[in-house]
Amino acid sequence: MAQDVKSDLNFGDQYSAWVNERHITDTEEDVYVEQIKSLGYAIIEDNYDASDLKFIRKNIDKIYARQVDEIGGEHHLTEIGDANIARQLLAYDDFFLDCATNEKVLGIVRRLMGDYFVLYQQTANLHKPGVVHTTHPWHRDLTFWHYTSSRPLAMTALHVIDDYTDDCALKILPATHLREDFPSNAYVDNNAVKVSAKAGTIIVFNSMMFHRAPYNYSNEVKRSMPHFYTMHLIRQEISLPRILGGKWSHDPFLRRFLGYDIMSQDSVVDWRLEKLSNKRKTLKAH
């Protein structure tokens, strides 16, 4: 029979711990940041209402159809492993700039990466029923990179646009941003986690955390919008400034964010002329 233990000590609290140092969180953002640092990811729910989601779905499909036309047919995209991916959405509709500058996401990115980060790409994945997609294998969003770093080289914000229910949940390997190689099969078996998410959820993660998109066994298209934020020394593969042609460059934050300040130039003269016309700093004699 259990007996009452008389004591002034209280070990019953779920947070009691033999420690000298304890991490304290005050805000929701602190909680996300702590979890991303240790596990690699955080989940932010309810970012879009039904009409936003409807608009986004319609426009992802429209932009993808337009991009298929631009390249001369989907078979060309299949040939280069780029089928069912729409790219640089904000260049096609201003609404997507709001998605890319979601304040909750940027707050987290700033805390983890510092002030100078760039929107590397804004894409949309269309996971069609029964159709293989290049995001299905395990990967890092900085694909084929095998490094660790003291702060993230890149962060991903995956905006879930259609419900990723249990049978088609994103799979992740928590904490793998802290190791260089891809883990063993046994590790994958023992540690893979399914992340089910309702439409409107944003999953923010260190881009070096291994993850894979779900194979779609349902009867509906499952869309998501991955946003990639990178350190400024990582050049955009598709130049947003060249697509946008000066749009939003008057805004100091957007100029940096969209990559106007890190454009590759064709010659030394061009590079210097660009610096003269777009001064980043004032040099003063000391």
Residues at the site binding Fe ion, with contacts judged by CB under 5 A = 141
C-alpha distance from residue 33 to each of 23, 42, 66, 279 (Å): 12, 8, 38, 33
Q: Which is nearer to Fe ion, 174 or 241 (CB)?
A: 174
Minimal distance in Å, beta carbon 11 to Fe ion? 43
Q: How far apart, in whole angstroms, are the C-alpha atoms of residue 270 and residue 255? A: 18
CB 129 within 8 A of CB 221: yes
Q: DSSP labels for 43-102?
A: EE---S-HHHHHHHHHHHHHHHHHHHHHHTSHHHHHHTT-TTEEE-GGGT-THHHHHHT-
CB of 56 to Fe ion, least distance (A): 19
Q: Which residues contact residue 201 at a Cβ distance below 8 angstroms, ignoring those fewer than 6 apart?
A: 43, 44, 45, 46, 47, 159, 160
Q: From CA 79, how far away is CA 225, in angstroms rounded?
A: 22
Q: Which residue's Cβ lies closest to Fe ion?
A: 141
- The torsion defined by the Cα of 232, 235, 237 and 240, in degrees rounded to 10, comes to 60
Nearer residue to Fe ion within complex by CB, 141 or 162: 141
Q: What's the min distance (Å) between Cβ of 207 and Fe ion?
A: 8
> What minimum distance in Å lies between the beta carbon of 143 and Fe ion?
8
| CB of 138 or CB of 248, closer to Fe ion | 138
Write phi, then psi, for 45 (nearest 5 degrees): -95, 165
Smallest separation (angstroms) from Fe ion to the CB of 286 = 47
Least distance CB 125 / Fe ion (angstroms): 8
Report residue 175 as tokens: 């904490």
Residue 141 or 261: the one with the smaller Cβ distance to Fe ion is 141
Cross-strand partners of 228: 121, 156
Q: Which is nearer to Fe ion, 136 or 255 (CB)?
A: 136
